[in-house]
Amino acid sequence: MSELVAAEDVLLFVNAAVTATGQREFRSSAGEQRLSLAFLHEYVRVNYRPVYAASLALDINDHNAALVVEHLLRTPAEAGPGEGRLIAARLALLPPQRVYRLFRALRAAKVNNRRTRAIVREWIAARPDPALDAVKYRPGLKTALRHVHGPAADPETGDFLFAPRRRVRYGSPLLDAYRRAHYEQGALYELPFTVAEGFAAKHGVPRALFLERIAPRMTRFERLVIVSDGWDNAPPGLAGEVLRVWRTRLDPERRTSVVHLNPVYDAGGFDVRRLAPGVPTAGVRDAEDLPALVEIAQFAEGRTGFGELRAYLDRRVEAFLKGAGG
């Protein structure tokens, strides 16, 4: 029974970490989501820290991956073997704006232990285009470098960040475009969309014209920041009743495995919304995550023990680190 409870706890956390974003959704407020997530992260970190760290190798969403990293770095005295490699591998997959936001949170919390400084420095050093980061994520990069007392990638980038008036022009086309965009309207179309947007407003460029001309500089995600809640309401409870009858009348021996997949987090219940109490439910945002999530959900049916779940997570971690070159 204790192993089943542990498996259910882990599934509960993974469901939340896949679906909950900490933002307002149709059925719950941002505050409700954040409170609910804060409890789950703390509970699983304290009681199942190796599993908590291993969740970085699973298909949890970026919001929760950043929270896991933050919680692990905040508590270095409890660290287990291999955590640093997992953290570095997951940070390499996160969007840079999410990582810079994480670094700001760590600085605000005064988390500045040796492991944290090393991880931040290594992540910054591995960035493929220092000039792009200096322009697009300027406040975040400055904060991170100050926090770890690290140097910029090169003297020119360092001047751009910390002494912008030292140079009348820059050798980097991107850094110089940022300088020229303050007074030259055409230069803003050489910049990333999110940076150019501010200069377009400063110069009074009509929105339609700006979007037309900046389109080639926009990323795929800047054309999409679509949401569906997947709430069962036609009529409410009918699907759950069908599953209940199936389990009690047609398949009491559980010859057929049933797993419910749901993209919506229920902040009040610390879980995704369930169709039926007796059916394991896994949260899902991306169809590519289905095989792994179904595997995890099946551990909560009681067919296997917590040891098998730990072994499964160890295999996922090994594969994840191997794929990341770790």
Q: What is the DSSP string of 131-195?
A: HHHHHHTHHHHHHHHHHHTPPPSSHHHHHHHH-TTS-SS-SSHHHHHHHHHTT-GGGGGGS-HHH
Domain chopping of the chain, boundaries? 1-94+252-326
**Tokens 């988390």, located at residue:** 111
Residue type, 298: Q
What stretch of H or E contains 98?
helix 96-108
DSSP secondary-structure letter at 266?
E
pTM for this entry? 0.74
Tens of each residue's pLDDT in the chain, 326 residues = 577 677 778 888 888 888 777 666 655 676 777 888 889 999 999 999 999 999 999 888 899 999 999 999 999 999 988 899 999 999 999 999 999 999 999 999 999 999 999 999 999 999 999 999 999 999 999 999 999 998 898 999 999 999 988 999 999 999 999 999 999 999 999 999 989 999 999 999 998 888 888 888 887 766 646 333 445 555 666 777 777 787 787 778 877 677 777 766 666 666 677 777 767 777 666 656 666 666 776 766 666 667 788 888 888 899 999 887 75
- Asked whether the beta carbons of 30 and 22 are under 8 A apart, the reply is yes
What is d(CA 92, CA 89) in angstroms, rounded to the nearest whole number? 5
For residue 58, what pLDDT is reported? 87
CA-closest candidate to residue 153, choices 127, 130, 122, 137: 130
Angle at 304 between CA 298 and CA 310, to 5 degrees: 90
